[in-house]
């Protein structure tokens, strides 16, 4: 009797408290007023307020100002309020490196574990992926982190190395690890088919793993076997054989020149979509890739040992091959050294200074692989088509401290060059490609400004947006990024980071 009296008293108290709350003005954490809201869905911009409570957006729309109270009020008149950007292809170790250069360009989520290599963290060659994931949760990160499982890492862990065909036991070991990773929250699988050991794998192995990802609702992202103008079609066909949502990483055509070449690739992806396949891609807005001289070596000189043997025994043949490959890839003026003693100079300039042909310079003076280089392999006519295309989102392909300006400039560069004074696409389309589309691709509860979504959002000053990173100053932060909220917390303001509020994101189980 007594107990039930206490119980009903408690209920009465709770009811009274909730009635009082309903009648008083609500207190929200953040109230962004009068901004131009571009919500990330592609829908037309609206003038609206945004209310945030905890880590969630609770309202986007008109508010009754007299009834609202907030701990932080921001006047966003004349500013764009957009979802935090999602970078679907990034590199680096989020447990040990700073991702401020990503955050500063409006990125609030990165997808790691790319190009066949699982996300790195201390002990990653022995420990399960879940250990690295907890480490990010413990240490915090400037940005949210999602990750894939790397096919090359699976191969290494299963002891396959560079063998073309795994044994049944090795294949099973790869599948077990992949499934364990996905149960821990990995979003799927990444291939790096232009790198060792991925390049040695064959389609049966790729399908065994990729189809498994498809059965569990994950995504397969691939650095294709080749991005060369005459081989990319075949490389895309290889990826399309996998029964899963497939995604082409950093879409480009090496030495592509004409828009028609891009249209052929886009047509190939579109035809697969018309047959019911889910096919997406990402692209970064620079004409140079970060690279190494390895890409220029013939098959018989790939790997340090083979290369050294080739220099000794087949030097004339190697020189001829290097010259042919460099000429195919826009010539020696297209290779810019970003690190090492020749930093800031093109291969053509170094050859002129040393007064010898560049292929001899590569062998005698630069050495195996060389220091970091930028290879100017792309053309605007081709890349602009990719950037505009349906189902293609924006990425950086960057890494902290990489020396490539894409790691600090990509997303604001899109707004500056594609939406700016001579627009090549609408603001709404650009924002969709940087937030809503990648969120849909990964199944995230962020990337769109709507009630119930996680509060990753940006306040941008459209009159002042400049992507300032360059080849000589690759980490310069952009201007015009007024404020960044990550999971509802103010993470960046007026050019400076304000805290690590990013989380490890985990794929929702299916
Ligand atoms: Zn790649």
- pLDDT at site 487: 98
Residue 221 CA to residue 239 CA, distance in Å, equals: 9
- pLDDT at site 292: 87
Q: How far is the CA of 301 from the centre of ligand 1 (A)?
A: 21
Q: How far is the CA of 196 from the centre of ligand 1 (A)?
A: 12
Task: Name the CA radius of gyration of the chain, rounded.
Answer: 25
307 domain-assigned: yes
- pLDDT at site 65: 87
341 domain-assigned: yes
475 domain-assigned: no
Q: How far is the CA of 201 from the centre of ligand 1 (A)?
A: 17
- pLDDT at site 421: 82
Residues 48 and 91 sit within 8 Å (Cβ to Cβ): no
Domain that holds residue 116: 83-287+378-444
Q: How far is the CA of 117 from the centre of ligand 1 (A)?
A: 10
**Which region, left, alpha or beta, applies to residue 229 given φ > 0 means left and ψ of -120 to 50 means alpha?**
alpha
- pLDDT at site 169: 98
117 domain-assigned: yes
Q: How far is the CA of 34 from the centre of ligand 1 (A)?
A: 41
Q: How far is the CA of 302 from the centre of ligand 1 (A)?
A: 18
Q: How far is the CA of 141 from the centre of ligand 1 (A)?
A: 23
| Distant-in-sequence, close-in-space partners of 261: CB < 8 Å, separation ≥ 6 | 229, 253, 382
Residue 314 CA to residue 307 CA, distance in Å, equals: 10
Q: In what order do the strands lie in the sheet with 288-291?
A: 288-291, 373-376, 335-337
Number of domains in the chain: 3
Q: How far is the CA of 115 from the centre of ligand 1 (A)?
A: 5
Give the domain-ending residue among 79, 113, 133. 79
504 domain-assigned: no
Residue 482 CA to residue 463 CA, distance in Å, equals: 12
Q: How far is the CA of 192 from the centre of ligand 1 (A)?
A: 7
Q: Are residues 268 and 328 in the same domain?
A: no
Q: How far is the CA of 249 from the centre of ligand 1 (A)?
A: 7
Q: How far is the CA of 506 from the centre of ligand 1 (A)?
A: 22
- pLDDT at site 402: 85
476 domain-assigned: no
Q: How far is the CA of 169 from the centre of ligand 1 (A)?
A: 29
Q: How far is the CA of 269 from the centre of ligand 1 (A)?
A: 19
pLDDT digits (tens, 9 = 90+) for 62-76: 998 888 999 999 999
- pLDDT at site 25: 52
Q: Are residues 367 and 244 in the same domain?
A: no
Q: How far is the CA of 207 from the centre of ligand 1 (A)?
A: 20
Domain containing residue 23: CATH number: 2.30.40.10
Q: Are residues 274 and 388 in the same domain?
A: yes
- pLDDT at site 173: 98
Q: Are residues 202 and 130 in the same domain?
A: yes
Q: Are residues 267 and 222 in the same domain?
A: yes
Q: How far is the CA of 89 from the centre of ligand 1 (A)?
A: 8
Q: How far is the CA of 177 from the centre of ligand 1 (A)?
A: 22
Give the domain-ending residue among 396, 429, 444. 444
Residue 323 CA to residue 404 CA, distance in Å, equals: 25
Q: Are residues 215 and 356 in the same domain?
A: no
Task: Name the pTM for this structure.
Answer: 0.91
DSSP state of 366: I
455 domain-assigned: no
- pLDDT at site 272: 98
DSSP state of 155: H
Q: How far is the CA of 191 from the centre of ligand 1 (A)?
A: 9
Q: How far is the CA of 419 from the centre of ligand 1 (A)?
A: 27
Residue 284 CA to residue 66 CA, distance in Å, equals: 45
- pLDDT at site 509: 61
Q: How far is the CA of 246 from the centre of ligand 1 (A)?
A: 15
Residue 106 CA to residue 457 CA, distance in Å, equals: 8
Q: Are residues 301 and 267 in the same domain?
A: no
Q: How far is the CA of 490 from the centre of ligand 1 (A)?
A: 32
| Distant-in-sequence, close-in-space partners of 128: CB < 8 Å, separation ≥ 6 | 180, 181, 184
Q: How far is the CA of 227 from the centre of ligand 1 (A)?
A: 10
Q: How far is the CA of 467 from the centre of ligand 1 (A)?
A: 23
313 domain-assigned: yes
Q: How far is the CA of 369 from the centre of ligand 1 (A)?
A: 17
Q: Are residues 247 and 371 in the same domain?
A: no
Q: Are residues 268 and 372 in the same domain?
A: no
Q: Are residues 311 and 279 in the same domain?
A: no
Q: How far is the CA of 19 from the centre of ligand 1 (A)?
A: 56
Q: How far is the CA of 402 from the centre of ligand 1 (A)?
A: 14
Q: How far is the CA of 281 from the centre of ligand 1 (A)?
A: 12
Give the domain-ending residue among 444, 478, 500. 444
Domain containing residue 141: CATH number: 3.20.20.140
Q: Are residues 408 and 309 in the same domain?
A: no
Q: Which residue positions in the chain have pLDDT lower than 50?
A: 1-24, 510
Q: Are residues 330 and 438 in the same domain?
A: no
Q: How far is the CA of 224 from the centre of ligand 1 (A)?
A: 8
């Amino acid at each position: 009797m007594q107990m039930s009296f206490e119980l009903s008293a408690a209920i009465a108290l709770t009811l009274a408290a909730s009635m009082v709350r309903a009648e008083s003005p609500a207190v929200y954490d953040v109230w962004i007023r009068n901004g131009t809201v571009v919500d990330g869905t592609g829908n037309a911009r609206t003038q609206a307020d945004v209310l945030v409570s905890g880590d969630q957006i609770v309202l986007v729309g008109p508010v009754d100002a007299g009834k609202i109270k907030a701990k932080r009020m921001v006047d966003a008149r004349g500013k764009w309020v957009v979802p935090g950007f999602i970078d679907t292809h990034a590199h680096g170790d989020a447990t040990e490196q700073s991702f401020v250069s990503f955050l500063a360009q409006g990125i609030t989520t990165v997808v790691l574990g790319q190009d066949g290599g699982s996300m790195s963290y201390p002990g990653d060659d022995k420990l399960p992926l879940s250990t690295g994931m907890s480490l990010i949760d413990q240490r915090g990160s400037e940005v949210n982190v999602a990750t894939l499982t790397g096919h090359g890492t699976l191969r290494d862990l299963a002891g396959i190395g560079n063998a073309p065909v795994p044994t049944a036991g090795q294949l099973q070991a790869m599948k077990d690890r992949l499934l364990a990773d996905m149960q821990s929250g990995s979003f799927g699988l990444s291939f790096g088919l232009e790198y060792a050991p991925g390049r040695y794998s064959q389609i049966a192995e790729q399908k065994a793993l990729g189809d498994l990802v498809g059965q569990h609702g994950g995504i397969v992202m691939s650095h294709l076997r080749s991005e060369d103008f005459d081989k990319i079609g075949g490389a895309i066909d290889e990826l399309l054989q996998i029964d899963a949502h497939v995604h082409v990483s950093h879409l480009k055509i090496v030495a592509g020149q004409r828009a028609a070449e891009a249209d052929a690739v886009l047509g190939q992806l579109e035809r697969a979509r018309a047959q019911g396949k889910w096919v997406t891609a990402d692209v970064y807005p620079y004409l140079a890739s970060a690279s190494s001289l390895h890409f220029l070596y013939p098959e018989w000189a790939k790997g340090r040992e083979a290369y050294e043997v080739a220099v000794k025994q087949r030097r004339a043949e190697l020189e001829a091959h290097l010259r042919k490959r460099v000429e195919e890839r826009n010539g020696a003026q297209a290779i810019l050294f970003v690190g090492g003693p020749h930093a800031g100079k093109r291969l053509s300039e170094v050859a002129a200074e040393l007064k010898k042909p560049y292929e001899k310079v590569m062998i005698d003076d630069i050495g195996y692989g060389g220091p970091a280089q930028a290879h100017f392999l792309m053309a605007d006519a081709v890349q602009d088509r990719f950037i505009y295309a349906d189902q293609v989102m924006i990425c950086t392909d960057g890494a902290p401290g990489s020396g490539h300006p894409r790691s600090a400039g990509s997303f604001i560069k899109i707004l500056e060059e594609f939406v700016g004074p001579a627009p090549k696409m609408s603001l709404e389309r650009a924002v969709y490609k940087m937030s809503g589309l990648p969120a849909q691709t990964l199944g995230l509860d962020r990337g769109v400004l709507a009630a119930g979504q996680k509060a990753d959002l940006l306040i941008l000053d459209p009159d002042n947006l400049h992507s300032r990173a360059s080849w000589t100053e690759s980490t310069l932060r952009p201007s015009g990024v007024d404020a960044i909220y990550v999971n509802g917390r103010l993470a960046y303001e007026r050019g400076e980071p304000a805290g690590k509020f990013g989380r490890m994101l985990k794929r929702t189980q299916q």
